[in-house]
Every structure is written in structure tokens, then in C-alpha cells.
Amino acid sequence: MRFDTVIIGGGLSGLVAGIDLVRKGQKCLIVSSGQSALHFFSGSFELCNKENDPMKAIASLDACHPYSKLGAERVEALAARVKPFFAELGLNFKGDASANHWRMTPLGVMKRAWLTLDEYATFESETEMPWKKVSVLNIDGFLDFHTSYIAAALEAKGVEVAVASLSAPQFDKLRESPTEMRSTNISKTIIGEFVDALAEQINGKTDGSDAVLMPAVAGLTGTAEVERLKELVKVPFHFLPTLPPSTPGIRIQMMLKKYFQQQGGVYMLGDSVTEGRFEDGKLKSIKTLNNEDTEFEADNFILATGSFFSKGIVASQNGVAEPVFGLDVDADSDRTNWYQRNMFDAQPYMTFGVATDEEFRAKKDGRPVVNLYVVGSVLSGFNAIKDGCGAGVSILTSLNAADQIMNL
Amino acid sequence: MSKEYDVIIVGGGATGAGTARDCAMRGLKTLLLERHDLSAGATGRNHGLLHSGARYAVTDQESAEECIRENMILRKVARHCVEETDGLFITLPEDDLGFQSTFVDACRRAGINAEAIDPKEAIRLEPSVNKNLIGAVKVPDGAVDPFRLTMANVLDARLHGAEVLTYHEVTAVVKEGDRVVGVEVYDVHTKEKKTLRSRLVINAGGIWGHHIAELAGATVNMFPAKGALLIFGHRVNNLVINRCRKPADADILVPGDTICLIGTTSSRLPYDQIDDMKVTADEVDLLLREGEKLAPELAYTRILRAYAGVRPLVAADNDPSGRSISRGIVCLDHETRDGIPGFITITGGKLMTYRLMAEWATDLACKKLGVDKPCQTADIPLPGSDITEEDRYASGSDLGGKAARGRHGSRSVEIKHKDRYDESLVCECEGVSIAEVNYAIDTLDAKNITNLRRRTRLGMGTCQGELCACRAAGLLSKANGCARKSVEDLATFMNERWKGMFPVSWGDTLSEAQFTSWIYEGVCGLDAFDKKEE
């Protein structure tokens, strides 16, 4: 079977690349094992959160960082395309690359962000809050969001906080199984007429507040329920992130996938690549676990398999390897050098990934595979947490690879 | 004027807790002091093996006899802490099969019911065992949960009137002339110091007892021996598997609850490192290499964490070099030994013999205080123990309730489901409900997430506290009313968890570690609450 481009990995990176290519008329296949970092989405994408000005922060990154390889000008140009890219899918974000804004984490910590999904709370300042009084609500018995952390953080910034809980027979039903009280399951109950009833209950608990904050537990399949809540709740209504799973993150993943398919892309879920056929420094075709008799041929390939978490690279007792094609990796061979003893120090293993040339083409046995582009967190040379750049690297390197393939 | 106790016991491990129970049962006015949490030292850092004594039968008959006696007693008095699994001593092709008969004879002399069985029968009993075995001996080994055992002793000590203070560190031993009359303690939480008086002080500090003895002006010649272990992500074996040879490194694989453990290594450790033990890559490699010989499946089983404990080995008084080190029980009367009346040290020994150690120490204390009451701890069951095996493992739809019965035995009736939320699970791997967490906070002195882990197994399962740690922190924050404190506690807990994970972080363990960092640091910003070590 023949495609213009085959993409290995169907998370944020793979889908962004795939969508950009199908929009430009390419015939694309995505092979996805099902893992996606969007499942634990915080509500925000980060470009580089080390400083208020992301472009200034990017200028001081190491030479091996994917942004440094792209160059500042290219980063800026690619970043400018991202908001419209998602808006066309009906995903509206706040923010832009000229200055970071702030988001509040489930623990009440303020972190810098680049783009934040519309329904989440954002802040212009780390310390000055836009409200005098807010209501912080939670679903009764939902343990993956704690009002006490949010209340303590807001009170420390001089905001008066009213904490209240929401209860309903719909939530009680979830409780019949002790493991069901999770954000995605809750969101499955917030549909239809219950949305109106819930809004009414919220209105009863927001007396005198300038805004209401609650965990992101609605809108699993679309934005209709969230829009309806916003419309009915009498004060401004914002989500805060929860512990995983992330309901809006799963929605983004589903919307990206659906859009890709609507545009003619083929998405093979729950499959994984078993081998590749290389010829003359090029990857000619791949085979997959579920279609072992089929050769998927393409002019170009994109590797978007993620880091250790999704097994884009794997560590053994004695080293780190890229498991699909045996590509070269940038990693220390001695495992005692992989870690820092304090969990919160920069962990060296975080920067491990597939080695690429200046054009982000994968290296195998020291030589670039000229039609195999590497994107997202399987790339080496950056620490997504410490540089605050995980989503930015994923999206920008994917758009960049799509451009390279289209010779743009 | 503060009240005077008959006896202050220093050290909240199994020995200290057992001594507190024994003293209280004999009517002494008792106080137990622990500088950290119960079971925070060597008690919680070993195999959790209910030794049959077979391991020591050839080399140390006395220890073997002590073990099998205590083994039979614990099955009776601490039923809810024990799993009666039995154990195998296997002979592999590279071992000397001739050792087997020596071993069986020595076991029988010590009163251990050891039975050589056909290797095929061994494979039938324990399908995970190395199929290349050429010999097998079945012995009454088992598993014991040291956290639960210590907690049960503390609960019963309290029921008999003892007071127990955790997070109280002894900073000085108070003397009048040569006589010990009490201790000065530092309250870790309130940061206050106070003096507590007693007629006797019993030093049950394990390896840390070396320091307590110094505070009293006595020298106990201790040799810290580090033992490293690995915990695997599921229960590979149902019988304890040992090597039938003289005791060596990494030759015991013990099942316990949902997991299994391989250990241990043995190496001398400088005394100044006993609070900061690191498991090295070489130790991990050795444990894996040897462990795979017992149960080859370990090669493909996810490793959850590595940890190490310190054995409190004591050198004989006339041997300052430490060459003739004993693993036996050491009960020192410092009045006759060093001219320091009012001070007793109980040390050496092992988890298996904690009750006997407590009995010896309490016998000596009673003698000094002129109390004539016999020890009853071998006969009277611990709280929670009076549950039948059927009831303990009865199936039921309430996942949390079922798991709690296994953990707390008959005490699980105390876990009250006050409202409809209480059955919700906090920890899904181990089936810990909100009600059980609240029971541990209210009744079992759980003050932080690590305490909860020791009381309930929360965070001990496959995901190692991935999400339940944050849920538990929220419940603690509700209970103690301080959000900041509970998030700082969460940061400490996650960091401690990492210290156990990184020595074995490859494969799925590294995937999990990366996920954890993305969630807790990336999504949540937990790094803002990290208390940097000096």
C-alpha cells in the first residue's frame, strides 16, 4: 500500500504533521499505539516558559535544542501559525508567542504558558489576581482536584475564596464502583438536561463572586456542554486542570484524529510498526503488527513516537535504543549517569532521544536517513520540563517536517 | 512537674513496639518514643520473611531454634500479619546436592519440619521456580508484614495504657550521678524540647541504639551491615524460594501481598552513612543475576524499587575488631556492665525474634523494678489477629473493604463507612478506600503520606503512588487543615519514591518515572514545594 507520507505515532506531533500534510493534499497514514501526551494535558501549551518573553528564553537555549536547530526566526514564524491551525478545527486558544501568560496548576502553583484552551483560567500577572472574590467548586468526592490547594493559593494573593461542592444523583451513580470517580467518567454524566441543572446548582453557589473556578470535568466529546455552562452560569466561568486523565486533552486528541480522517488521512489505532526496509539511505516501507502481510510504502516518513513514556525510545539495564528501526540515539551508555538523586533536579535521561542531522533527519549507523524526519519528544537535546517547551517542540518540529516534505 | 514513667523505650521498630506492649501488659507505666515514624528503620527495610529458621540451621543452631519457635508463635498471635506460604530451599546444578542432607538434619535438630521433596513436586507447588533445580526441601517459611506487626504491637500497648509518641527524637539521656533518670526529647513537629523522667530507659534503637548508648555514656560496639533488596511489580512466587547452600547474597525470594522481594546483599557500612543509604548499580545487577536463578521470570518482571536496610550487628564485648559478630539477641544490663543503673539496651536479633527480644528486655526491666509478672505475649493475640483465614480472604464486591480485612484483620470493623464517599478508592493498586485512609489518620497516627503507606500499603503497588499520593495528600490536607504542609509532604514523598526508583529505572520503571515527572512537575508544578537537601 502506497502513501505520500507515513507517520509513526499518533499523538500531538504525529497528528499536527498529518493534518498539515493532508490539508496540503498529501495522502497520509498514521500508525498509532494509542499513547498521547494529550491524555494528561494541563490546559496549556508551552513554547518556552523559562522567562516571560518566550523568544528571549529560546535565544539562550543550548545549541543541541531543537529550537536552536530551527533558529529563532523559524521558531517565531512557525509559532505564529499554531493558533489559526487549531482554530480551523474549532479549538480556540488564548495567548501568543510575544509574551507568556500564567496558568494555575492543580496544586495552585502559577506557571507560564504560551497558548491556553479558551475554557481554562489564565492570568496576566503571577501575583495580581483579576478578582476580589471567587467561588472554587468541586464535584463531591472527586479526589483528583483539591479545592484546598486552589483556595490557599488564591487567598495568599489576597482573593476571598468561597469553597463549595456540587452533588447530584448522576455523580452518585459513578460511586457505585469505587474506581469510577475520575474526570472522564464525570464528564460523561455532564450532558443533555443535566448541564442546565448543574448550571443552576453552580449559580446557587456563586453568590457575590466575580468568577467561578471548577475542575475540567466537562466536554469530553465536544465543546457544546462547556459553551452551554458558560452561557447559563451568571458569573465568568473557568476551568482549572485536574490530575490525569485530562478531559479536554482527550477531546483535543479525538478532534485532531477525527479532522485528520475527515481530510482523507488513514489512522490505524492500536497498531505498531514492526520493521522498516531501508535502501540507499532511504526508508522505503514499513510493516505493522496488525497488518503483517502489508508493506506500507511512502516517499517520506515521520517518526513521532514520543519519549520513554510511549516507548519511542527504550532503556534497558545496559543502554538506550530506538526500538522500531534501531536508529542512533543521543544517550549516555552508563546508566549511573542517567539520573540525579533529587527528583526535581534536571534529569539527564530526559534529554535522551533519536539523533538527527541539522534537517531533523534520523541518523542510522552515523548517516542520515534522508526521508525519515524526527519530530516531538522522541528528539534528543532538550528537557521538556526544565525548558518548559514540550508542546512547543512537538507542534513546531511537526509543522517544520511537513514543510520540509512539501519543499516549502 | 512532669509525671514519671516506669519505663521509657527508645525506638519505634518492631522491638521497641513489642517491648512497649510487653511492659504495658505487665503493668508498667510505659512510654514509647520514636524520632521518625513507626517501622521507619530496619523493621520496614527487610524481606518481610517469616523465617522458619532453616536458613540458620547449619551455621547457627541457636538462631534457628529461636526462629522456629517465634515463627509458630506469630502464626498464632499475629495471624493478620502473616501469610502461611511455606518455603522451598532449592539446589541448582551448580550447587552441591550433598549439602541437602546436612541441611535437613540440622533443620530437624533445631525443630524445623524440613522435608526433602522431588524437584517435580517443587515445580508443581511453585511453578515459578527455576525448572533446572536438582533438589528441593520444603520448610515452614512464610511472609510477615513488619509494618502491620509493629502497628498491632503499638495498638495493644496503648490498649494496656502505654503512651506512644512518634516524631519525638531523643537528644540527651538525663542522668543523676551515674543513674539514668529520663531523656530529653525534641518534638519534630512543634520544635519544642522537653524532659521526660522514668525509672528505667530501654534502648531499642536498633543500629541507631549505638548513638543512644553513647548519650548514656555507654559503648555498644555495633557494626552496621547494609542489605539491599529489590521489589518486583507483581507476586511471581507463592512460596518463599531460598537456595539450599550456606547463606549468601541475594538468595531469598519472598512473596508479600501483591509483590515479591529479592535480597539481600551484605556489606559493611560506615556508621555516618546509616541515614543515607544508596543502592548501587552493582548491587542491583547482583540481585537480579542471582534472583533470576531462583525464578527465571524475574528477568521479565518489572522492578518497582530498590531499597536497603541496616542490620544492627553487635560485636562481642571482648572483640572490638568486630570479627566475631553475632546475629543473636543482645540484651545489655548497663548497671552491671558499665555501672550505669537505669539503662538497658536490647539489640542484635532480627525481625523474627522481636517478641523474644521484647520478652528478654521486659524480664530484665521487671527484675530491676521489682515487678513479678510473667510474659504473656506468646499467648495473647495481637489486636486484629482474631480473624479466621476464611473471613480474612472472604470475597466481596467492596474492593477496599476486602483489602482492608486482609490488612487489618478483625480490626477492620473499626474502618467506618460514615458516608457514601468512604468506599471510593484512593489507591487502586492496593484497594485502599477513603475510609481506610481516614482510619489510619484518626487511629493509627498517620501524619503524612509515608505514614499512610506503612499503615495501609497505599502507594506500594504497581504504580508506586502515581496518582494516589496526590489524592492522599488532599485527604491529609483536609484532616490537618494545612494545604501547604500537605503539598510539601507530597513533594517529599514523591522524591523519596524516586530515590527508590532510580537505581532500577529502565524499561517500564523509567517510563513510569518520566510520566510522574511530567505530571507532578510539568502539569502540577510540585517542584515549587521541594525542600532542597543541604
- The interface predicted TM-score (ipTM) is 0.96
Q: Across the interface, which of B502, B507, B519 has its CB nearest the CB of A316?
A: B507
- Are A255 and A396 found together in one domain? yes
Q: E strand or H helix at A298, and its extent?
A: strand A296-303
Tell whether A301 is covered by a domain.
Answer: yes
As its CATH architecture, domain B4-42+147-221+317-369 has 3-Layer(bba) Sandwich (3.50)
Residue A109: inside a domain, yes or no? no
Is the peptide bond preceding residue A245 cis, with omega within 30 degrees of 0? yes
How confident is the model at residue B462, as a pLDDT? Answer: 80
Residue A233 lies in a domain: yes
Element (DSSP H or E) covering residue B70: helix B61-77
B125: enclosing H helix or E strand: helix B119-125
* pLDDT tens, residue by residue, A111-148: 999 999 999 999 999 999 999 999 999 998 898 999 99
Q: Rounded to an integer, what is the distance from CA B55 to the centroid of its chain?
A: 19
Same domain, A259 and A365: yes
CB contacts of A244 in chain B (<8 Å) are 467, 519, 523
Residues A270 and A177 in one domain: no
| Chain A contact for B449 (CB, 8 A cutoff) | no
What whole-number percentage of chain B has pLDDT above 90?
77
Same domain, A28 and A137: no
Q: What is the mean pLDDT of residues A257-267?
A: 97
One domain for residues A79 and A175 = no
- Closest chain B residue to A181, measured at CA: B424
Q: CA of B286 to nearest chain A CA: how many angstroms apart?
A: 12
Residues of chain B with CATH 3.50.50.60: 4-42+147-221+317-369
A240, A265, A295 - which closes a domain: A240
* B285-304 per-residue burial string, b: 16 or more CB within 10 A, e: under 16: eebbebbbbbbebbeebebb
Structure confidence by residue, pLDDT tens digits, B396-435:
666 777 788 888 888 888 887 777 778 888 888 888 999 9
Q: Is B533 on the interface with A (CB under 8 A)?
A: yes
Q: Min CA distance, B425 vs chain A (Å)?
A: 5
**Contact yes or no for B399 and A178 at CB 8 A:** yes
User: Within this chain, do residues A236 and A148 fall inside the same structural domain, yes or no?
Assistant: yes
Distance (Å, rounded) from C-alpha B283 to C-alpha A159? 53
Residue B70 contacts residue B46 (beta carbons within 8 Å): no
A401, A261: one domain: yes
Q: d(Cα B284, Cα A186) in Å, to the nearest integer?
A: 43
Mean of pLDDT values over A29-39: 94
pLDDT digits (tens, 9 = 90+) for A153-177: 999 999 999 999 999 999 988 877 7
Q: Which of A392, A262, A77, A26 is nearest to A18 (CA)?
A: A26
- What is the pTM (predicted TM-score) of this model? 0.92
- Determine the residue among B480, B518, B519 to mutate to test chain A binding: the one whose Cβ has the most chain A Cβ atoms within 10 Å: B518
B511 CB neighbours in chain A (<8 A) are 308-311
Domain count, chain A: 2
Helix, strand or coil for residue B340?
Answer: coil
Question: What distance in Å separates residue B145's CA from the closest CA in chain A?
Answer: 26
B483 and A152 within 8 Å at the Cβ level: the answer is yes
Q: Does a structural domain hold residue A258?
A: yes
pLDDT at residue A353, rounded to an integer? 98
Residues 6+ apart with CB under 8 A from A129: A123, A154, A157, A158, A159
pLDDT, tens only, A269-288: 999 999 999 999 999 999 99
Average pLDDT over residues B45-67: 94
Superfamily of domain B81-143+224-307, CATH level 4: D-Amino Acid Oxidase, subunit A, domain 2 (3.30.9.10)
Do A222 and A130 lie in one domain? The reply is yes
Range of the domain at A164: 121-240
- A294, A220: one domain: no
Mean pLDDT computed over B217-223: 91
Give the chain B residue nearest A343 (alpha carbons).
Answer: B495
**CATH number, domain containing residue A41:** 3.50.50.60
What pLDDT sits at residue B1? 44
Beta bridge partners of A297: A2, A285
Kindly state whether residues A32 and A178 are assigned to the same domain: no
Same structural domain, A62 and A14: yes
Name the segment(s) of chain B with CATH classification 3.30.9.10.
Answer: 81-143+224-307
User: Are A235 and A173 members of one domain?
Assistant: yes
Interface A-B, measured as beta-carbon pairs within 8 A, has a size of: 147
* End position of a domain, from candidates A240, A262, A288: A240
Kind of pairing, strands B82-83 and A296-303? unpaired
Interface with chain B: mutation pick from A242, A343, A386, A393, highest number of B CBs within 10 Å: A343
CATH number at A132 reads 3.40.50
Residues of A within 8 A of B285 (CB-CB) are: 317
- Tell me the average pLDDT across A387-402: 98
Q: Is the pLDDT of residue B534 over 50?
A: no
Eight-class DSSP state of A99: B
Q: Is residue A114 part of a domain?
A: no
Put simply, whether B479 touches A (Cβ < 8 Å) is: no
Query: Which of B423, B467, B521 lies at the smallest CB-CB distance from A178?
Result: B423
CB contact under 8 A, B424 and A151: no
Interchain contact, B288 vs A107, CB within 8 Å: no
| Distance, CA of B211 to CA of B229 (rounded, Å) | 26
Asked if residue A107 is part of any domain, the answer here is no
- CB distance from B475 to chain A under 8 Å? yes
Pick the last residue of a domain from A240, A271, A301.
A240
What are B432's three cell numbers? 485502599
Give pLDDT tens digits for B133-164: 999 999 999 999 999 999 999 999 999 999 99
